[in-house]
Each structure stands twice: as structure tokens, then as C-alpha cells.
Amino acid sequence: MLKKFRRDLRFRYGRQLRQVNYWLVARAAMIIISILRLLPVDAALNFADRVARRIGPWVGRHQVAIDNLRKAYPQKSESDIQAIASDMWGNMARLAAEYIFLDALFDYDPASSKPGRVEVKGTEHFVEIAAEKQPHIVFTGHLGNFELLPVAAATFGMNITALFRPPNNPYLADYILSTRRSTMGSLLPSMAGASFALAGILENGGNIGVLVDQKFSNGLETTFFGRPCQSNRVLGTLARHYDCDVYPARCVRLPGNRFRLEIEDKLVLPRTANGSVDVHATTQMLNDVVERWVREDPGQWMWFHKRWEISNWRRKQRPKPTPVANT
């Protein structure tokens, strides 16, 4: 009884302390945001980059990133590994700061001949998807400022619902969600039941956007950079059920706080003997596409994800009842 009381007490106060910590972190973040707002866009982004490159190596996840880089690039020198990690922290800081300036950053105008901060490659695919009255899936990874892709889609009149994972910090989640909704259109939090919501959108002829480069506990056994990992089967399952086109898209960060948004040709999805989409092979294909992107711009990916962590948990099977002998 006493043990249970102590356990409940620790749980109650632990939860309260966690909420206090979330609030303090959110307040500190909002103060930083307020300071950055006082600076011109380029100065603010460059400042965030410089600070992150100094602080990043002291963050706990830095070692996760270094370990992942060493395993992904065994042929690279230690100085090369550290340089990629530094670029990653700079990219992450810029991504965070760019939430403040999304309206100013996205200046792409399809009718303008004057180049701006954002250039788009594959505009014909955006136009095609927007015009077709059928469901489509667009996928990407955590590269560059991937948040600009839904903004670009809206510019071309493409109605898309983006699946996203809100931060654990509820105070920061509210701020980020309000910022995203003002510029990105429809958003769907990644939580229980999200796959059914995505299916409903496709059922009604809508378009969905999905990030596919995160670890998914007890997902399909696949590889990434030649190493085993677990991946979410949901995109392949939806593509099989609705037999819809799947397009890769990414954001590439360019010098001078500029961006190139690319939407590539639709994938030719692997099929099973009966002609349906092969879910496992499709999931591996998505990994291969993201790996190609990461290899081209390794400093623009989030290496501190525990992408290769394997979960051995399996749902326990109910024991079968012992048959009763007839007497």
C-alpha cells in the first residue's frame, strides 16, 4: 500500500515538474523568437546558424548524430563527420528561426520572371496534381526547410493535407501549429487514428503529404544506408488500397538563405504477382529515395533521429486454450 502511494506521488509530481519544464523551455524559446523578430531576416537566420553550431556539440543528441554519421559514412574522416554534424545544427537552427519569417521567405511567384528566395523545380507536376480530380500522395523527408513544400502546393492551387508530428512540449506545439496553419493549409497531427483520417482524405479524392524518414516502432523491416531499420507501412498500404500516384518532393537549402523546392516524377511502384502495389517493396523504395537525397546534401538532414533503433517489442499472443478431452 505504501509503495503504491509513493509511486503515485512520484508520478503526480513528476508530471507537474515536466509541465513546469515545458513552460520554462517555451518561455525561453519565445524570448529568443522576440529577439530574432527585431533583426532583418538574413541577419536573424545567420545569427541562429552561428549560435547553433557552437551550442550543438554540447547537446545530448549530438553524440547520436556523430554515431549515426560514422556508421553511415565509414569511409569519411572524423573532421568530415564533425563538419556534417555542424552543418546539421546550423540547418536545424535556421529551420526553427524560419518559422518566424515564413511569409517573408516564401516569395515564389509563378508569373514572375525575377528570381526570388525560392525557386521551384517540377512546376508541371504541381499543376498536374492540382488539376487532376483524383487522390495523390506526396512524400518528403526532414531535409532543408521541408515546411515550405505545402506552402508551394497552395501557391499552385493544390489542396493537400500534411501529416505532421507535433512537439512533445504542448506550449511550443500550440505556437508551431498556429504558425503552420496560417501558411500551409490543412494539417493532420500524427496520432492514433491518423491513418484512417488519411484514408478518408484519399477516399474523397484529396491529396496528402507525408514525412517518411522517421523510425516507426515495429514497422516493416527495411534498410537505410545499408543498415536495418523499421519503417512505417502506411504510405505503401494507402497507395495499394487507392492505387494512387506517389510523388517524391524535397527542399534543398541554397546559399544566401535561398531554397529550391523540387517535385520529381511520380514513382513507378513495385507490384505483386496479382498486380497490386507491393507494400514492403514500396516502403523500401521510399527509403532509397530519401537516402539519395541525404547523400546529396548530408548536412541538411536530421542525423540525431534514432532512425536505426530497432524495437523488439511484439504484441503478446493470447495462449490458445487447452483442448478438453472427451470423457
Q: pTM of the entire structure?
A: 0.85
Distance CA 176, CA 189 (A): 12
More confident residue, 10 or 139: 139
Distance CA 118, CA 108 (A): 5
Cell of 15: 508530471
In this prediction, residue 192 carries a pLDDT of 65
Q: What is the dihedral of CA 279, 283, 286, 290, to 10 degrees?
A: 180
Supply the mean pLDDT for the chain: 86
Break the chain into its structural domains and give their ranges: 2-98, 113-300
Tracing cell 493544390 back to the chain, one arrives at 158
Residues constituting the chain: 327
Q: What is the pLDDT of residues 137-193, one digit of tens each?
A: 999 999 999 989 988 988 898 888 887 666 677 777 676 666 665 555 566 666 666
Distance CA 264, CA 147 (A): 17
In angstroms, the first-to-last Cα distance of the chain is 46
Q: 267: how many CB neighbours lie within 10 A of its CB?
A: 17
Distance CA 125, CA 138 (A): 11
Strands 245-254 and 258-263: antiparallel
Q: What is the pLDDT of residues 21-47, one digit of tens each?
A: 878 877 877 788 888 888 999 999 999
